[in-house]
Amino acid sequence: MKTDMTNDDLDVCFNLVQDVARKAGEMIREAFKQEKQVSTKSSLADLVTESDKKVEQLIISTVKDKFPTHSFIGEESVGDSCVLTDNATWIIDPIDGTTNFVHRFPYIAVSIALLVQKKTVIGLIYNPILDQMYTARPGQGAYCNGEKLQVTQTQDLGHALVCAEFGSSRDSKVLDSKFRSMRKIIEQAHGIRSLGTATMAMCMVASGKADAYFEMGPHIWDFAAGDLLVREAGGTVVDTTGGPMDLMSRRVLCAGTQELANQIAASLEQLDLQRDDCA
């Protein structure tokens, strides 16, 4: 078990993750233009393609070659339960926004986070279609293509643009609850935007292009990298109740300011979700 890493190790990992994300990006860009073989997972709107699987294999095998003792939690290979230990663990979403990928809607991203002792030490989100590489390391800030990112200072929901997603569940009770929450927000905010990808929504918050994002239902691979990115851009990331962020809880709320996060949390109807770490 590798439960600590030197700064030199982390520098190697940081270079490696950028290289492998660019290679993954080439595969995605090539496949983006072509017809895809699409299968469904938990619902008719939870899609997977051959590219999701191939990209995840590429990332895992590349990292394993260099770091054979590291652990992996990847969207397409994790199975029913994921266990996060103190070991150095790579959290991978090979294509976040698979539905967008299938429809050639250009908001998709490779998302990779490295956690050591359950703390995120590297976060990377790469949109290969728009060629935007977002990176963050603790205490070093968040960047897009080398440009430093800063969240907005909006404190009042009445002046906020909020990203939110309906997710892939088509259960009518879940949908009704999400519609009620969305309605509460739209009644108070400047607007709501749905991009179809948690990672890109978090990049919008980190870049100061949206003031907040919330979702109930995504998984650790959808927001582990974005969590570090938003915090390093000066923002706050919490549970949708407003309590501390829990990467396994499948609930995320991030905002430029704590005040805005609190207002959004107070307006949301909470959903009881199966955690990522229980089968």
Q: Which of 56, 76, 211, 222 binds ligand LIP (CB under 6 A)?
A: 222
End-to-end CA distance of the chain: 23
Distance between CA atoms of residues 108 and 14, nearest Å: 21
Size of the site for ligand LIP (CB under 6 A): 13
- Report whether 236 contacts 255 (CB < 8 A): yes
| Residue for token pair 């030197």 | 6
Interaction between residue 56 and ligand LIP (CB under 6 A)? no
Interaction between residue 97 and ligand LIP (CB under 6 A)? yes
Considering only 6-14, 95-103, 135-143, 255-263, which stretch makes contact with ligand LIP by CB under 6 A? 95-103
| Residue for token pair 């108070």 | 188
Q: What is the DSSP string of 5-24?
A: --HHHHHHHHHHHHHHHHHH
Q: What is the DSSP string of 155-168?
A: --GGG-EEEE---S
Distance between CA atoms of residues 240 and 250, nearest Å: 10
Query: Can you say which residues are annotated as belonging to the binding site?
Result: 75, 93, 95-96, 222
CA atoms within 13 A on the CB side of 75: 30
Complex with ligand LIP: residue 215 or 232, whichever CB lies closer: 215
Interaction between residue 93 and ligand LIP (CB under 6 A)? yes
Complex with ligand LIP: residue 10 or 273, whichever CB lies closer: 273
Site string for ligand LIP, 123-162 (x = CB under 6 A): ----------------------------------------
Known catalytic residue: 75?
yes
Residues that bind ligand LIP (CB under 6 A): 75, 93, 96-98, 165, 167-168, 197-198, 215, 218, 222
Which residues belong to the active site? 75, 93, 95-96, 98, 222
